[in-house]
Structure 1
């Protein structure tokens, strides 16, 4: 049985992907500067492989963010928890914004003024997702990375 990735590794990987895409740089660009393969960057971004402290430091330097950037949205281990609900949605929002059409989708949704139309769209999206999962998988996500 294969263990699922650690949620902290997944979160850090998502933040790497988010920042890399904000800067408009490819996985190959980042991998080249780190002396890695782009496949290793893919694994980091999925949380499948843990990023060592030294690699995270180098990534932060290349992506021009403080180390703390990668941990934003996680509960501070020195304080009591209680933000799981907000934290779960922070991850969803980060993942949406990291997708190629994510920012455009979010902005379009927020520009809809009528609450009933927003509600209808929110109900339609899960139906589309369920239908998509029932179909044969396509390679749009992999090609976009």
Structure 2
């Protein structure tokens, strides 16, 4: 699997923490995937850090593994280098810029059409 360019160091660290806790509890990938409502492939991508874990999925995973959501954001696997911190900030800034652009397009559509329409 090749990392998705939209994922980064934080995604990989969260994935490592998910995998480590699952293995510590001796839980199989198929069983956990079924319990949290995702496919085996999706759980494997979460653990590899090649697919970003949504807030809902992280909440479900934390409940299943019986750890607080904050568990995934600290610990030995979460010490990021300066380069990784810069990468994470860059990803956040790009995502925020893209969200603002989409929001501007939606507002422009509302202004011109008088009713909301989502851009395709």
SS at match of 2:52: coil
Q: Deviations over 1:10-52 (max 9, x none)?
A: 0000000000000000111111011111111000000110111
Q: 2:42 aligns with which of 40, 59, 74?
A: 40
Listed as ranges, the matches of 1:53-68 within 5 Å are 53-68=55-70
2:25 maps to 1:23: yes
In structure 2, stretches of 5+ residues that fail to align are 85-120
Structure 1: 5+ residue stretches without partners: 76-82, 88-145
Q: Which runs of 4+ in 1 moved over 2 A?
A: 2-5
TM-score by length of 2: 0.59
Selected match of 2:81 from 81, 84, 102: 84
1:72 pairs with 56, 71, 74, which one?
Answer: 74
> How many pairs align?
78
In the TM superposition, residue 4 of structure 1 has moved relative to its aligned partner by 7.0
Root-mean-square deviation over aligned CA pairs? 2.2
- For residue 5 of structure 1, report the CA deviation from its aligned partner: 3.3
